[in-house]
Amino acid sequence: MDIVKGNMGWIEVIVGPMFSGKSEELIRRLKRAEIARQRVQIFKPVIDQRYAQKDIVSHSGLGLPSEVVNNAAEVLEKVQPRTEVVGIDEGQFLGEGLVDTCVRMADAGKRVIVTGLDTDYLGRPFEPMPRLLAVAEEIVKLLAICVQCGNPAVNTQRLVASEDLIVVGAAGMYEPRCRRCFEPHLAHDKVEANKTSSAAPVLTRQK
């Protein structure tokens, strides 16, 4: 992408836990841009195949066609000079180059809208989203509803046994929880329980 000085661009970041409506808010903003007859391009990481291969789709079923990329560098390669608005869903999956990519597009006069998780399954900052927040002109933090108690939820609870940082999934694998109900080490405890179960001796009954 060639950097062309002129029109002012900016970065909008929408963060929050899973099931907080981030993709839905992104779709709403992009549809409004299309209604305004602005040139829009939308990107999603190839790793996110939960609801569709190419569309960005919210948990509620709303969707928009998008282009699939492996990393942030591919966004720069595919974005067109005449594009005015760039939407990026699940930005945390696009790698460390996300911040530089967004800054370069904003410097080129584009409105850049990015969604992503700002914390991981342990409640830690989920890079590179926190660094993107630091350079954004607008930040929106959405809350979900804790499935345990109904309070506002800011955490994403992993329910499956895995200590990998990235495990793509939706309902049944993750759920939103509030600060009080969040169990950050639940996935780790399940991994250890599985290890213990598989290592236990098998007793056979002698006839």
34: CATH:
3.40.50.300
List strand residue ranges (DSSP E) for the chain, in order. Answer: 10-15, 40-45, 56-57, 63-64, 67-69, 85-88, 111-116, 138-141, 144-145, 152-153, 155-158, 174-177
Domain that holds residue 132: 10-144
90 is catalytic: yes
Residue 122 located in a structural domain = yes
Cα distance between residue 201 and residue 131, in whole Å: 48
With a cut of 70, say whether residue 205 has pLDDT above it. Answer: no
Can you tell me the mean pLDDT for 24-40?
95
**pLDDT value of position 4:** 44
Residue 149 located in a structural domain = no
Look at 38-52, 92-106, 161-175 and tell me which has the smallest mean pLDDT: 161-175
With a cut of 80, say whether residue 8 has pLDDT above it. Answer: yes
Three-state SS sequence of 121-178 = CCCCECCCHHHHHHHCCEEEECCEECCCCCCEECEEEECCCCCCCCCCCCECCEEEEC
Q: Considering the candidates 24, 90, 138, 183, report the single residue annotated as catalytic.
A: 90
Phi, psi of 64 (to 5 degrees): -145, 145
**pLDDT value of position 169:** 57
Count of domains for the chain: 1
With a cut of 50, say whether residue 200 has pLDDT above it. Answer: no
With a cut of 90, say whether residue 166 has pLDDT above it. Answer: no
Residue 68 located in a structural domain = yes
Reported as a pLDDT band with limits 50, 70 and 90, residue 25 is: very high
With a cut of 60, say whether residue 201 has pLDDT above it. Answer: no
Can you tell me the mean pLDDT for 6-32?
92
Residue 192 located in a structural domain = no
Reported as a pLDDT band with limits 50, 70 and 90, residue 176 is: very high
Reported as a pLDDT band with limits 50, 70 and 90, residue 64 is: confident
CB–CB of 176/19 below 8 Å?
yes
Residue 133 located in a structural domain = yes
**pLDDT value of position 157:** 95
Can you tell me the mean pLDDT for 166-186?
85
| pTM of the shown model | 0.83
**pLDDT value of position 2:** 43
With a cut of 70, say whether residue 155 has pLDDT above it. Answer: yes
Residue 185 located in a structural domain = no
**pLDDT value of position 58:** 62
Residue 163 located in a structural domain = no
Residue 18 located in a structural domain = yes
